[in-house]
Amino acid sequence: MMLKEKVEELEKQEILSALNAAKWVKSRAARALGLSERMFNYRIKKYGIRIRKEVVMTEEM
């Protein structure tokens, strides 16, 4: 694997991790990574990440 591919894979994993931590709220995930929402959305599209549409259930329910 070339360096560029390794960097892209790491970036994709960091984006997914931030999305999970932010309960898939893109604006929160972008802020956590220090990215503008525009750049974050660009990278989501670049890596083919599909945003979950499901409702996040809390433990109390």
CA distances from 36 to 6, 22, 27 (A): 23, 15, 8
* Confidence at residue 18, expressed as pLDDT on a 0 to 100 scale: 97
Average pLDDT of span 2-28 = 96
Residue 38 vs residues 20, 54, 61: alpha-carbon distances, Å: 19, 23, 34
* pLDDT per position as a tens digit, 21-43: 999 999 999 999 999 999 999 99
Mean local confidence (pLDDT), 15-26: 96
Domains of the chain and CATH, by start: 3-47 (1.10.10.60)
State what percent of residues in the chain have pLDDT above 70: 85
For residue 52, the model assigns a pLDDT of 74
